[in-house]
Structure 1
Amino acid sequence: MLATTCFCSFGMISPGSLHLNYNLISSKFEVWRLASNLVFLGTFSFPFLMSLYIFVQYSNRYEVGPFDTGAGGTSADYAWMLSIATILLSVAGFVMGEPFMGQALSFMIMYVWSRKNPESMTSIFGFNFKALYLPLVLIAFHMLIGNPLTQPIIGVITGHIYYFVHYIAPAQVGFEIIKTPRFIIEWFGGAPVPVMGSGRPPPGAAPARPYAGHSWGTGGQVLGRN
């Protein structure tokens, strides 16, 4: 996201080649726009720095221990969540007329992390509080400084949809709804692990083997650390 902003600010890339445009996606098959609109947070500004901080901070934290959707709570599960987020946010961007959804993605990841770790302590500007309240605190802060709330709210709603469909709904319908595809799990060097809706392995299931993330060429770095 930082690189994208730098390239756009220095005229190396036009934001017009990145934004969400369904006419160009359908007529010219510019499908990269479904993803590229998520990696642009605007030009250098305080809102840009806030969004970048939220993305880096909570993307790294969540990838360390994401909800287990079939890969044992590894980077494969995180990558699958990002894939789902791309679809949900693309639909939301179309409905709301938002050309870039990067800020919404940052808030979505932050919200899911806060639901995964509700009792963890976090801090903003020296104020400590439980992670459960983090989305409300950040939205209130954006409201206080006069930033638009559309994308933060979209991100929180999208995050809650993911949380509900994975963590709550399976107990009601009797089966797992979100499952990380086998090819993604194998791409990241793992093996499928049966899970319940709560993200915990069922009784008797073999524990997932330790995993440090997929090696992108060399180095074994995880997604959020690239």
Structure 2
Amino acid sequence: MPVGVEAWITQIPPITRAWLGLSVLTSLAVLYYSPKAAFVNMQAWRAVLNFFYFGPISLDYVFHMFFFMRYSRMLEESSFANKKADYFWLLFLASVMLLGFSPLFNLPFLSSPLAFVPIYIWSRRHPSTPISLFGLITITAPYLPVALVAFSWVLNGTWKAAAGDLVGCAVGHVLWFMNDVWTRELVGGHTFLSEAPDRVKRLFGDE
């Protein structure tokens, strides 16, 4: 591997780097999520690995991988700097919520919805940051998820293709509200939704 690429990979924060690596590996197989296959037929691995499958190599694959990696990395380096356990816990809670929503919206793959969770949360935590989309238009960060969902819709030619991204935005909004609004204004402290349990922190060496 070229030194430049290796250095770039090692600079990616650990949770995002692991997510990226697993996503590239699982693009070699179709690991879709099915409640029946996962829990009735005892293929529980489908409930985990489908969060890393972004589909075969295509323009849509590149689109989702680029934006997921960019904003997951930026979120982990800012809000979750030196908080690997808390970032893992956030993604874990998002994954559990998406597994619950999957049968309601008929979502066989949950990687794209999960990728929109850090994008949404980052956009809400940086409301005044200007974002240039493909060098064509400039928007502020809170409009980024909407713009990306619209682009996904255009890219795939049907609103159903963007349904998973919308569900990801909804989950991201719930977690942003519970982490940033509920804990600050209504609770006045951390909750299990905003901070990883001690056992998880010990697992990641954050204690």
TM over 0.5: yes
Deviation at 1:94, TM superposition (A): 1.9
Match of 1:30 in 2: 43
Match of 1:4 in 2: 26
Q: TM-score when scaled to structure 1?
A: 0.72
Q: TM-score when scaled to structure 2?
A: 0.78
Match of 2:76 in 1: 63
Deviation at 1:172, TM superposition (A): 2.5
Q: How many Å separate the matches in 1 of 2:52 and 2:132?
A: 25
**8 Å contact from structure 1 (residues 65, 73) kept in 2:** no
Match of 2:203 in 1: 187
**8 Å contact from structure 1 (residues 117, 131) kept in 2:** yes
Q: 1:97 to 1:144 in 2, by over 3 A?
A: closer
Q: From 89, 92, 115, give the equivalent of 1:106.
A: 115
| Higher-helix-fraction structure | 2
Q: How many Å separate the matches in 2 of 1:83 and 1:149?
A: 22
Q: How many Å separate the matches in 2 of 1:45 and 1:152?
A: 17
- Greater Rg, structure 1 or structure 2? 1
Match of 1:87 in 2: 96
RMSD of aligned alpha carbons: 1.9
Q: How many Å separate the matches in 2 of 1:156 and 1:136?
A: 9
Q: How many Å separate the matches in 1 of 2:85 and 2:140?
A: 27
Identity of aligned residues (%): 27
**8 Å contact from structure 2 (residues 84, 206) kept in 1:** no
Q: How many Å separate the matches in 1 of 2:154 and 2:109?
A: 23
Structure 2: segments with no counterpart, 5+ residues? 1-22
**8 Å contact from structure 2 (residues 89, 196) kept in 1:** yes
Q: How many Å separate the matches in 2 of 1:27 and 1:136?
A: 36
Match of 2:9 in 1: none
Task: Note if 1:166 corresponds to 2:179.
Answer: yes
Q: From 126, 138, 142, give the equivalent of 1:128.
A: 138
Deviation at 1:188, TM superposition (A): 2.0
Structure 1: segments with no counterpart, 5+ residues? 9-14, 192-226
Number of equivalences: 178
- Stretches (4+) displaced over 6 A: none
